Every structure is written in C-alpha cells, then in structure tokens.
Structure 1
Amino acid sequence: MSSVLAHAAAGITAYLCSNTWADKRSRWALTPFVFLAICPDLDYVAVWWFDYVPHPRFTHSLLFALVAVVAVYAATRSSRTARFPAIWLIAAAASHGMLDLLVGAHAVPLLWPLPAEIQMPIGVLPSAGALKIGNYYLWRNLVIELGLMLPVYTAMVLVCRGAVRRWHRVMALTLSPAWIGLRAWSVSLSR
C-alpha cells in the first residue's frame, strides 16, 4: 500500500489543478479532494476496531471511487466559492487504487464487483511498511515515495495551470538523475 501522505498529496494535487490556493474563499475545498484520495483506507477502521479484514477491499475499486465522487459532488454542488470539476474529483478518488497498484505488493480490486484483482508484476513505488514510529523501513520508503511522487504532482499542477516556464524545465532536467535513481532503488526493493 502507498502511504497516507502520498494519497493526501494526490488529493491536494487534484485540488490545485482545479482551484487556486491564493483564493482564500476556496481553501475549504481542499478537504473534499483530500478526503476522496484517502477515504478508501477507511476500511482500516474495521480492521482496527473489529479485527475484521474485508476481502476484497472493495473500497479500493473504481466503482467505490465513483460513488464517493457522486456523494462529494452532491454535497458541494451549491458552492459558489470553490470549483469541483468532476474530472478532478474522479482523479482524486481514483488515485488511491492506482497508487496502491503501483506498489505491486498486493492485488487491487479496481474492477470490483468483477472478481478479477489487478496486480503489477513490478512495484514502482515502495510499500508504506508497518506503521510504527521506530520502523526504519517506513521512513526510508516514505522518503523514496515522496521523492518520486512530489515532482510528478508538481508537474501536473504546473501543466494544468499553464505555468510551465523555462526554469521549470531546467530544474526537471537537473533533478531527473536523482529521480531515476530513486525509481531504480524503489523497483529493487523486496515486496
């Protein structure tokens, strides 16, 4: 599974692709985007409180993502201070299953209720690891994951806003060897 920070950052990215942080009246809209990006992991409540592990984890399906988007869209449709383009709400919601798929550690029931679960043969993102504060691998993998995803998220926001400048391209080229190194390191990790 991907980390909650990477999932939340995907929601923040979807928000920034459709709203501007400079408009203080629209900042509240960040919450629904981040909620959509992390809500598939709400099934952990059943694990933590009731020791029940649902299988398949239908909350990671595209159908669940669409239902969540419809609920958020209905709750926010009368907003006059923020924008909620359906495509970016869907992107925020669907990002969760996609990020977990990119880890490659477990099959993801993206097509639920169809029985097939999808798994990547090679993980391109590291697994979040055991959620314990003293777990070295949790922190190492978090640094790798954010090092891989934050440049991608930043590029998405810049492209969506039409704000890509020459210095952004130079920075991307300058940092690309480090990004490629992180990618190679991530792929080499055991799953």
Structure 2
Amino acid sequence: MSSLLAHVAAGLTLHFCRREQQARRWHASMALPVLLAIAPDFDYFGIWFLHLRYAQRYTHSLLFCLLLSSLVYLLAKRCWPTWNARPGFLVLSLAASSHLLLDMLVGRALPLMWPFVDNEFFLPLAFLPGASHTGIISYAFWRNLFMETGLLLPILAAMLLLRHRWTLRAYLPEILLVLAMWSGLVCAAGKMLYT
C-alpha cells in the first residue's frame, strides 16, 4: 500500500489546487479532502481491533469513494451552507479516488469496479516503492517512505504550479535542485524495484 504521508499529500494538493482564494492558504476546509484521501484505509480498524478478515477490501472501490465523497459533500453543504471555503464535490471525489491511484502505483490489485465486477485491477508495473510492512523502526520502512515522498512531491508541486499558473522563473533554483534530487531518487527506485 501507499504510505499515509502520500495520501495526506495528495489530499492537501487537491485542496491547494482549488480556484478559490481561501483554498490557497491553510484553512480548516483542508481537513475534508485529507480525510477522504485516507478514508479507504479506515477498514484497517476492523482488521486491527476486531480481527476481521476481508476477502476483498471493498473500501478500495470507485463506488465506495464516490458514495463517501457524496455523503461528505452533502453533510458539509447542509451543516455549513454559507461556508465559502467548503470544497466542492469534484475536489472531494478526486481526493477519495486519489487513494486508489496511489495504491495502484505501488502495485496493489484493487476491486475498482465492485460490486459490478468482482475482478481486481492492477497496473503491470509498480511505479512507487510504497510503505514497507516491516515496522516503523526498520530500514526498509524509512527507505521506501523517503523514496516515495521524493518521487511524489515534485509531481504534486508541479500540479500546483500548473494549476495556479505560477511562473517557473521565480522558482527556477528550487525547481532545478528538486529535479536533480528527483532524478537520483528515480534511478534509486528503479534499481531497487526492478533488480
């Protein structure tokens, strides 16, 4: 699976990609896309605390993500009808669906089309190393987390640059430094994943 840090970063990126001026700064409304970005993994609470075993993790389906984001959107609209910083349905549904994309990028097979199709879908290549299940004090956990973060953050930052049409010239030294670091991480990740 992808790391919690990657899911939170995706939710924050979607919050900051919104058009409204309030969305360009830190605001309480960023909690909704972040929570939806990690929501499909809430079934772990049943696994950890109730010792449930699922044949398939149905929370990792498009239907679950769309239903949950619809519910959150309707609740937010009803509870805070005049809240201008409230995220729209598109941002919320993309935040929930970003979880599925990130999990597929680490090579997970997911029941995307459940309940219409029982098959699990996967990408033929793993593009991200993902979170290691070896424990928080292991070398593999921190190595994979560092590589995943290093690979994802430049892509998410580029989304923000493109969305808000920020000039590249103003950020050129930072961009060149990040691209140099990113290319090293891509080479390291490729060597680790495919050797």
Taking structure 2 as the reference length, the TM-score comes to: 0.86
One-letter code aligned to 2:114: W
More deviation in 141-150 or 169-178? 169-178
- Hey, what does 1:107 align to over in structure 2? 109
Question: Which whole-Å deviations, capped at 9, do the CAs of 1:59-94 have from their partners, x for residues lacking one?
Answer: 111111101110111111224231412222121110
Please give the alpha-carbon distance, in whole angstroms, between the structure 2 residues aligned to 1:8 and 1:179. 20
Please give the alpha-carbon distance, in whole angstroms, between the structure 2 residues aligned to 1:100 and 1:155. 21
- Hey, what does 2:69 align to over in structure 1? 69
- Hey, what does 1:91 align to over in structure 2? 94
Please give the alpha-carbon distance, in whole angstroms, between the structure 1 residues aligned to 2:146 and 2:23. 25
Question: Which whole-Å deviations, capped at 9, do the CAs of 1:11-32 have from their partners, x for residues lacking one?
Answer: 11111111545656xx111111
Q: What is the deviation of 1:123?
A: 0.9
Task: Please report the RMSD computed on the Cα atoms of aligned residues, expressed in angstroms.
Answer: 2.1
Please give the alpha-carbon distance, in whole angstroms, between the structure 2 residues aligned to 1:185 and 1:120. 20
1:155 aligns with 2:158: yes
Q: 1:123 touches 1:186 (CA, 8 Å); kept in 2?
A: no
Taking structure 1 as the reference length, the TM-score comes to: 0.88
Q: 1:6 touches 1:145 (CA, 8 Å); kept in 2?
A: yes
Q: Could you tell me which runs of 5 or more consecutive residues in structure 2 were left unpaired when the two chains were aligned.
A: none
Q: 2:105 touches 2:123 (CA, 8 Å); kept in 1?
A: yes
Please give the alpha-carbon distance, in whole angstroms, between the structure 1 residues aligned to 2:172 and 2:62. 33
Go from structure 1 to structure 2 and tell me whether the alpha carbon gap of 1:111 and 1:28 turns closer, same or farther (over 3 Å shift).
same
Q: 1:58 touches 1:109 (CA, 8 Å); kept in 2?
A: yes
Q: 2:17 touches 2:23 (CA, 8 Å); kept in 1?
A: no
How many residues were matched structurally?
A: 188
One-letter code aligned to 2:89: A
Q: 2:154 touches 2:178 (CA, 8 Å); kept in 1?
A: no
Q: 2:13 touches 2:160 (CA, 8 Å); kept in 1?
A: yes
Go from structure 1 to structure 2 and tell me whether the alpha carbon gap of 1:186 and 1:35 turns closer, same or farther (over 3 Å shift).
same
Question: Which whole-Å deviations, capped at 9, do the CAs of 1:16-66 have from their partners, x for residues lacking one?
Answer: 111545656xx1111111010000000101110122232211111111110
One-letter code aligned to 2:100: G
Go from structure 1 to structure 2 and tell me whether the alpha carbon gap of 1:108 and 1:22 turns closer, same or farther (over 3 Å shift).
closer
Please give the alpha-carbon distance, in whole angstroms, between the structure 2 residues aligned to 1:36 and 1:10. 10
Q: What is the deviation of 1:117?
A: 1.0
Q: 1:122 touches 1:187 (CA, 8 Å); kept in 2?
A: no
Go from structure 1 to structure 2 and tell me whether the alpha carbon gap of 1:187 and 1:110 turns closer, same or farther (over 3 Å shift).
farther
Question: Which whole-Å deviations, capped at 9, do the CAs of 1:150-189 have from their partners, x for residues lacking one?
Answer: 1111111222222233243564345334313312322333
Q: Could you tell me which runs of 5 or more consecutive residues in structure 1 were left unpaired when the two chains were aligned.
A: none
Match of 2:188 among 182, 185, 189: 185
Q: What is the deviation of 1:141?
A: 0.6
Question: Which whole-Å deviations, capped at 9, do the CAs of 1:124-148 have from their partners, x for residues lacking one?
Answer: 1012012622111111111101111
